């Protein structure tokens, strides 16, 4: 697939990367519900950008507005410097789109369906077999779409978004129907696309996925962006404690609670769980008392940050808490 899209030159060090998508002050209302509320963000070329948030937070609506499938009530969107709305046919060959309700030619085989999609974009025939292989569907090439499983249809939808070698790829919960192995296989496909210089805008409910793949994420709550940053920075700046899991019987709860640096002690799933913000200090204390055999550590993850942030934002008076000054700067940059 790299033959379809030539690698872009790397900008000089210190030069801001060019912008693929710019969203400024976008709002959208459906009746009494405010789906998006003054959303501003930038997605840079070559970036893997994640949109996270609870159901109903506005992720799909925002993606559809970026794609030019839906019109915003207010604000503006530019994709490669052009407005995607009204439907901008000149942009279509540069975009790959997989939605949660992708349409198929169900009477065709998987190969015929993808060949039809490729022909619509003028993609070479050689791209069809290569993309089927990329999506893990070579064995199903002659199976009618109507007879594919839900997960296989999901992979065919992803293949349809990739077959013409787009520069910018929108994927809306692409791994929702995939089993764990197929999900990990798709991760490698997506990493390869990013390595080729593609830009990926991605929604998912799998927080481990976002942490593993995304350069930056924006977390939406009730239609507004609560924070935008890299997963690493969000986890690093979080106040979420680490957890040490000790086999039951190693220490009693009172002994564990008395250790310096332990904030809370609970029993979960057959383990004594020690919550702490100074994991090294507590580990040293446990080592002196009982040794570390069988002790497990659970450091803060993007999922912890997400759950904490969405809970606080949803409970804040008037809805989501506003972004911090650093967040606002990042959104405008």
Residues 83 and 166 in one domain: yes
* 82 within domain boundaries: yes
Structure confidence by residue, pLDDT tens digits, 12-54:
566 768 999 999 999 999 999 999 999 999 999 999 999 999 9
Residues 196 and 274 in one domain: no
Residue 57 has pLDDT above 70, yes or no: yes
Share of residues in the chain with pLDDT > 70 (%): 89
* 4 within domain boundaries: no
Of residues 90, 139, 134, 84, the one with CA closest to residue 110: 139
Tell which wins on pLDDT, 199 or 8. 199
Of residues 269, 246, 274, the one with CA closest to residue 258: 274
Q: How confident is the model at residue 144 (pLDDT cuts 50, 70, 90)?
A: very high
Contact, 63 vs 45, CB < 8 A? no
Burial of 87 (0-12, 13-18, 19+ CB in 10 A): exposed
* 248 within domain boundaries: yes
Contact, 100 vs 172, CB < 8 A? yes
* 8 within domain boundaries: no
DSSP 196-215: TT-EEEEE-S-HHHHHHH-S
- pLDDT value at position 116? 95
Structure confidence by residue, pLDDT tens digits, 112-129:
999 999 999 999 989 999
Residues 276 and 161 in one domain: no
Contact, 149 vs 167, CB < 8 A? no
Residues 278 and 311 in one domain: no
Residue 325 has pLDDT above 60, yes or no: no
User: Average pLDDT over the chain, rounded to whole?
Assistant: 88
- Reading phi first (left if > 0) and then psi (alpha if -120 to 50, else beta), residue 227 is in beta
Tell me the C-alpha distance between 89 and 235, whole Å: 40
Residues 114 and 250 in one domain: no
- pLDDT value at position 332? 40
Q: Which domain holds residue 143?
A: 19-236+306-332
Residues 218 and 185 in one domain: yes
Structure confidence by residue, pLDDT tens digits, 69-106:
999 999 999 999 999 999 899 999 999 999 877 788 88
- pLDDT value at position 13? 63
Provide the domain count of the chain: 2
Residues 71 and 94 in one domain: yes
Tell which wins on pLDDT, 102 or 267. 267
Residue 58 has pLDDT above 70, yes or no: yes
Q: How confident is the model at residue 326 (pLDDT cuts 50, 70, 90)?
A: very low
Kindly compute the dihedral angle of the four CA atoms of residues 130, 132, 135, 139, in this order, to the nearest 10 degrees. Answer: -120
* 268 within domain boundaries: yes
Residues 282 and 201 in one domain: no
Structure confidence by residue, pLDDT tens digits, 165-198:
999 999 999 888 788 888 888 898 889 889 989 9
Residue 243 has pLDDT above 60, yes or no: yes
Q: How confident is the model at residue 150 (pLDDT cuts 50, 70, 90)?
A: confident
Residues 117 and 31 in one domain: yes
* 10 within domain boundaries: no
Residues 127 and 143 in one domain: yes
Residues 232 and 283 in one domain: no
Residue 300 has pLDDT above 90, yes or no: no
Residues 112 and 180 in one domain: yes
Tell which wins on pLDDT, 34 or 269. 34
Residue 1 has pLDDT above 60, yes or no: no
* 1 within domain boundaries: no
- pLDDT value at position 50? 97
Sequence-distant (≥ 6) Cβ neighbours of residue 47 within 8 angstroms: 17, 20, 199, 200, 215, 216
* 13 within domain boundaries: no
Residue 311 is part of a domain; what is its CATH number?
3.40.50.300
Rg for the chain (alpha carbons), in Å? 23
pTM over 0.85: no
- pLDDT value at position 164? 95
- pLDDT value at position 330? 43
- pLDDT value at position 131? 95
Residue 239 has pLDDT above 60, yes or no: yes
């Amino acid at each position: 697939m790299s033959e379809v899209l030539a690698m872009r030159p790397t900008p000089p060090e210190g030069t801001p990367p060019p912008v693929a998508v710019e969203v400024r002050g976008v709002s959208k209302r459906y009746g009494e519900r405010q789906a998006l509320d003054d959303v501003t963000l930038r997605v840079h070329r070559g970036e893997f950008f994640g949109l996270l948030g609870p159901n109903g937070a506005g992720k799909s609506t925002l993606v559809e507005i970026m794609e030019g499938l839906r019109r915003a009530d207010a604000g503006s969107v530019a994709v490669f410097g052009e407005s995607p709305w009204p439907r901008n046919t000149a942009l279509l060959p540069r975009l790959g789109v997989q939605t949660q309700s992708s349409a198929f030619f169900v009477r065709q085989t998987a190969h015929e369906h993808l060949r039809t999609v490729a022909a619509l974009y003028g993609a070479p025939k050689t791209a069809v077999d290569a993309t089927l292989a990329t999506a893990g569907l070579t064995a199903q090439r002659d199976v009618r779409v109507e007879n594919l499983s839900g997960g296989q249809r999901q992979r065919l939808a992803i293949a349809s978004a990739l077959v013409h070698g787009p520069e910018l790829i929108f994927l809306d919960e692409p791994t929702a129907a995939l089993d764990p192995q197929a999900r990990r296989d798709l991760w490698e496909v997506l990493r390869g696309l990013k390595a080729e210089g593609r830009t990926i805008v991605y929604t998912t409910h799998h927080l481990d996925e976002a942490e593993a793949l995304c350069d930056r994420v924006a977390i939406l709550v009730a239609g507004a962006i609560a924070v935008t940053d890299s997963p690493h920075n969000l986890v690093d700046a979080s106040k979420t404690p680490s957890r040490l899991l000790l086999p039951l019987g190693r220490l009693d709860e009172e002994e564990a609670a008395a250790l310096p640096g332990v904030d809370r002690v609970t029993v979960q799933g057959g383990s004594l769980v020690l919550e702490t913000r100074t994991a090294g200090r507590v580990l040293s204390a446990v080592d002196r008392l009982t040794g570390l055999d069988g002790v497990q550590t659970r450091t803060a993850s993007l999922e912890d940050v997400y759950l904490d942030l969405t809970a606080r934002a949803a409970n804040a008076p008037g809805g989501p808490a506003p972004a911090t000054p650093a967040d606002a700067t990042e959104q405008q940059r």
